[in-house]
């Protein structure tokens, strides 16, 4: 990292964007190879382009991080390992990972490869970052919803590096907690194929608006505060963006980090959504954070100017050069960048027939470094009396010396890899899976026959005796969580369902039995084995799995699936209704209506908001087709006691699928 400011980390969705980032002054770039990056629709890199781009970055002293930040399936395990092996062979400096199974797998396969926890891991608290640190992560990319004081609190708790987004698009949902695109059309945001339904218009209170579309983030005026909070890397979003965008964003970030004035007008012209916001970082969660994309004044001219900059080589490597010319001996040129030194020899010096070679003439020839990343900071010439060397010979020395030094700067030693353990056999599952029921409150179950229900799950704030306490999907206030856990323990609660990785260490410390919720995004055997190492006694599988993939999962951790319920499509720190109709008019019964007239229920949780699928997931009539599960969960939200009882009865009697219900992704899966 720079000694003057935190690392400036730029997006590279193509090799052209990589060149633009380096030439604009980035300290590092992040990119994807193959299909495991969270921007799979970007151009991304071929193996040859990655090798070429990584060498170019090493030449300039810029680091390269590979994005492997998607959820994966067991069948992709070998391809994933081959992809990372190829990237390691190209000389990457680290990998950005979302999937807990991928994280543990790469720790085994490439123990010396620095791993960064992706923002898709939904790390909101010190305990979440601490879990990553204990697992061996070098860095954590913090959730975009955090304020600067919340970031500072995490800094006080861990020693790993903290990476924070400072510019680019903001999702309405917390990263890693969105199923909207997947449920809508099988394009999973967790697997890099988000269709961006949040950018569409919806109706709220009879009015068409964009209640799920946020302005782009721009935190450049806050860089000094972020640095003081302990941030190690300023991250710019935009692997789907063009090279000109990368140039503008990196230049602005570099100037802002140096305390200089940056070109805000050009930055907005290149790409913005009704301007910019810093609402999360400053804690100002208002309607001013929302915006949509519209053509910006001056965009075409800004792009033209930036395109020229993106193609111009950046001369940012100072050289010390020493030339030695003697009659009858090969001329020698030594070049040093302070870390690497090379010496080349050329034509022999000759006795001058007219004018001998002088230092000014020699330095002028050697200093012509245009088109290279080098600049001549110091040139010393040792020229014997009466000796000379042709201009052509001096140019040849310079070219060969620069090429040799560039080669030395680009060289690297590949990290060693290891054989990984094979996956364990398929998990057989229970002959008769248990029935678990999750409800909003105990009264909702008043009409239910619970005699065959193994576990009742209630939100932690509504917990009653003999139930499992469901912790919130989002957790920003760790002290509040600790108090909640302490109260639950004192009241006699013995088990909790963790929905966020930041809850695992605190809940385990209180001695609770831990069950994993759907918010942990467990999609493969390696992830299930990692959950077992965390101390989980059982866990819900991701609803993005198909039934055949569920049946093929291995490992010994008991696992379950949701067989009924209106599932959360988004978990967000903002409310989509408050800026439009206000809390009073909503009355905690609000919704947004899509273009097909379907109402997505909005529910305020403890410090965050969830949007629910209007179509009920229903698998009660196909229980016999589900293999590999140990329990089935009925997920109740707004059902009346009678409707809740009907759901339990439907499961027990394998009742046919009602009209309007959905199989979710269990049949069609996700891309």
CA 545 to chain centre: 21
Q: Could you tell me the two tokens for 66?
A: 């590979």
CA 538 to chain centre: 27
**pLDDT over 70 at 63, yes or no:** yes
pLDDT, tens only, 481-507 = 999 999 999 999 999 999 999 999 999
**pLDDT over 70 at 40, yes or no:** no
**pLDDT over 80 at 248, yes or no:** yes
Secondary structure element (H or E) that encloses residue 155, with its range: helix 148-157
In sequence order, the β-bridge partners of residue 161 are: 139
Burial class from Cβ neighbours inside 10 Å (0-12, 13-18, 19+) for residue 453 reads middle
Per domain, the residue ranges of the chain are 7-170+214-310, 317-410, 434-653
Within 411-524, where are the H helices? Answer: 478-491, 504-509
- Alpha-carbon distance of 111 to 114, in angstroms, equals 8
Burial class from Cβ neighbours inside 10 Å (0-12, 13-18, 19+) for residue 653 reads exposed
Question: Does the CA dihedral 577-579-584-585 come out positive or negative?
Answer: negative
pLDDT at site 1: 39
Give the rounded percent of residues in the chain with a pLDDT score beyond 70: 99
Q: Do the beta carbons of residue 497 and residue 468 sit within 8 Å?
A: yes
**pLDDT over 50 at 18, yes or no:** yes
What letter does residue 146 receive in the DSSP assignment? -
- Alpha-carbon distance of 611 to 552, in angstroms, equals 31
Q: Write phi, then psi, for 396 (nearest 5 degrees).
A: -65, -40
CA distances from 459 to 134, 242, 467 (A): 28, 45, 10
Which of these, 117, 121, 120, 131, lies nearest to 162 by C-alpha position? Answer: 117
The CATH fold assigned to 7-170+214-310 is TIM Barrel (3.20.20)
- Alpha-carbon distance of 368 to 371, in angstroms, equals 9
| Region for 176 from its dihedrals, namely left if φ exceeds 0, alpha if ψ lies in -120 to 50, beta otherwise | left
**pLDDT over 70 at 39, yes or no:** no
pLDDT at site 2: 42
Topology match between the domains 7-170+214-310 and 434-653: yes
Side-by-side strand order, sheet with 207-209: 207-209, 202-204, 591-593, 599-604, 609-612, 568-572
Q: Over range 421-450, report the average pLDDT.
A: 96
pLDDT, tens only, 294-346 = 877 678 888 888 998 888 888 989 999 999 999 999 999 999 999 999 999 99
- Alpha-carbon distance of 267 to 253, in angstroms, equals 10
The residue whose two tokens read 């992704």 is: 665
Within 442-542, where are the H helices? Answer: 478-491, 504-509, 525-533
Q: Over range 437-447, report the average pLDDT.
A: 97
Longest dimension (CA), the chain: 111
Q: Over range 536-543, report the average pLDDT.
A: 98
Q: Are strands 216-218 and 207-209 parallel, antiparallel or unpaired?
A: unpaired
Q: Could you tell me the two tokens for 263?
A: 């070109």
- Alpha-carbon distance of 10 to 43, in angstroms, equals 16
Instruction: Say which range, 31-35, 81-85, 124-128, 534-538, has the weakest mean pLDDT.
Output: 31-35
SS3 600: strand
- Alpha-carbon distance of 146 to 119, in angstroms, equals 11
Q: Write phi, then psi, for 7 (nearest 5 degrees).
A: -55, 140
- Alpha-carbon distance of 458 to 415, in angstroms, equals 48
Q: Do the beta carbons of residue 101 and residue 74 sit within 8 Å?
A: no
Within 283-429, where are the H helices? Answer: 299-310, 359-366, 391-410
DSSP per-residue codes, 34-93: TT-SS-TTS--B-HHHHHHHHHHHHHHT-EEEEEE-S---GGGHHHHHHHHHHHHHHT--
pLDDT at site 85: 97
**pLDDT over 80 at 440, yes or no:** yes
Mean pLDDT across the chain: 95
Q: Over range 437-443, report the average pLDDT.
A: 97
Taking domain 434-653, whether its CATH number is 3.20.20 is answered by: yes
Burial class from Cβ neighbours inside 10 Å (0-12, 13-18, 19+) for residue 416 reads exposed
- Alpha-carbon distance of 73 to 79, in angstroms, equals 11
Q: Over range 541-566, report the average pLDDT.
A: 98
pLDDT, tens only, 337-391 = 999 999 999 999 999 988 999 999 999 999 999 989 999 999 999 999 999 999 9
Q: Over range 556-572, report the average pLDDT.
A: 97
Instruction: Say which range, 36-40, 93-97, 279-283, 476-480, has the weakest mean pLDDT.
Output: 36-40
């Amino acid at each position: 990292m720079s000694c003057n400011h935190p690392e400036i980390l730029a997006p590279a969705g193509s090799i052209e964007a990589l060149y633009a980032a380096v030439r604009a002054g980035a300290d590092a770039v992040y990119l994807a190879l193959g299909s495991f990056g969270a921007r799979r629709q970007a151009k991304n890199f071929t193996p040859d382009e990655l090798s070429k781009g990584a060498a170019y970055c090493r030449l300039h002293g810029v680091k390269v991080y590979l994005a492997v930040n998607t959820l994966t399936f067991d069948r992709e395990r070998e391809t994933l390992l081959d992809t990372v092996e190829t990237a390691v062979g190209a000389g990457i400096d680290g990998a950005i990972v979302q999937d807990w199974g991928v994280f543990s797998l790469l720790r085994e396969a490439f123990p010396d490869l620095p791993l960064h926890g992706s923002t898709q891991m939904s790390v909101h608290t010190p305990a979440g970052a601490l879990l990553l640190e204990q697992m061996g992560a070098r860095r954590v990319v913090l959730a975009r919803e955090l304020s600067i004081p919340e970031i500072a609190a995490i800094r006080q708790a861990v020693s790993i590096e903290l990476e924070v987004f400072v510019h680019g698009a903001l999702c309405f949902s917390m990263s890693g907690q969105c199923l909207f695109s997947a449920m809508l059309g099988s394009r999973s945001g967790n697997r890099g194929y988000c269709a961006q339904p949040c950018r569409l218009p919806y109706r709220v209170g009879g009015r068409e608006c964009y209640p799920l579309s946020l302005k782009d983030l721009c935190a450049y005026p806050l860089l000094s505060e972020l640095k003081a909070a302990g941030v190690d890397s300023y991250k710019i979003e935009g692997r789907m963006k063009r090279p000109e965008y990368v140039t503008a964003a990196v230049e602005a970030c570099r100037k802002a980090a140096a305390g200089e004035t940056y070109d805000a007008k050009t930055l907005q012209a290149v790409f913005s959504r009704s301007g910019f916001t810093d609402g999360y970082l400053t804690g100002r969660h208002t309607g001013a954070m929302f915006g949509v994309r519209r053509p910006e004044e001056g965009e075409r001219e800004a792009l033209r100017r930036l395109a020229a900059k993106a193609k111009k080589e950046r001369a940012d490597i100072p050289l010390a050069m020493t030339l030695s010319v003697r009659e009858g001996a090969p001329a020698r040129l030594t070049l040093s960048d302070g870390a690497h030194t090379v010496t080349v020899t050329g034509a022999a010096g000759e006795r001058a027939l007219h004018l001998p070679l002088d230092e000014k003439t020699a330095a002028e020839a050697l200093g012509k470094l245009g088109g290279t990343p080098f600049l001549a900071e110091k040139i010393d010439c040792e020229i014997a009396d009466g000796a000379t060397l042709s201009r052509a010979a001096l140019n040849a020395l310079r070219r060969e010396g620069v090429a040799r030094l560039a080669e030395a700067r680009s060289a690297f030693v590949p990290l060693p890899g290891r054989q990984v353990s094979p996956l364990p056999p398929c998990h057989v599952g229970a002959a008769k899976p248990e029935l678990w029921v999750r409800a909003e409150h105990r009264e909702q179950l008043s009409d239910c026959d619970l005699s065959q229900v193994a576990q009742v799950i209630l939100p932690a704030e509504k917990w009653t005796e003999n139930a499992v306490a469901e912790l919130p999907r989002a957790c920003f206030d760790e002290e509040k969580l600790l108090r909640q856990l302490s109260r639950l323990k004192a009241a006699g609660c013995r088990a909790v369902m963790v929905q966020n990785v930041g809850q695992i260490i605190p809940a385990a410390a209180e001695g609770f039995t831990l069950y994993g919720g759907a918010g942990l995004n467990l999609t493969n055997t390696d992830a299930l084995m990692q959950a077992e190492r965390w101390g989980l006694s059982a866990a819900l599988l991701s609803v993005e799995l198909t039934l055949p993939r569920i049946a093929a999962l291995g490992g010994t951790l008991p696992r379950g699936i949701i067989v009924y319920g209106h599932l959360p499509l988004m978990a967000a720190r903002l409310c989509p209704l408050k800026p439009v109709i206000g809390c009073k008019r909503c009355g905690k019964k609000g919704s947004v209506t899509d273009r097909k007239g379907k109402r997505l229920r909005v529910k305020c949780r403890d410090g965050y908001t969830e949007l629910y699928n209007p179509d009920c997931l229903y698998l009660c009539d196909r229980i016999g087709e589900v293999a590999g599960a140990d329990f089935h969960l009925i997920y109740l939200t707004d059902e009346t006691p009678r409707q809740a009882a009907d759901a339990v009865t439907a499961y027990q009697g394998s009742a046919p699928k009602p009209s309007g219900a959905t199989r979710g992704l269990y049949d069609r899966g996700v891309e």
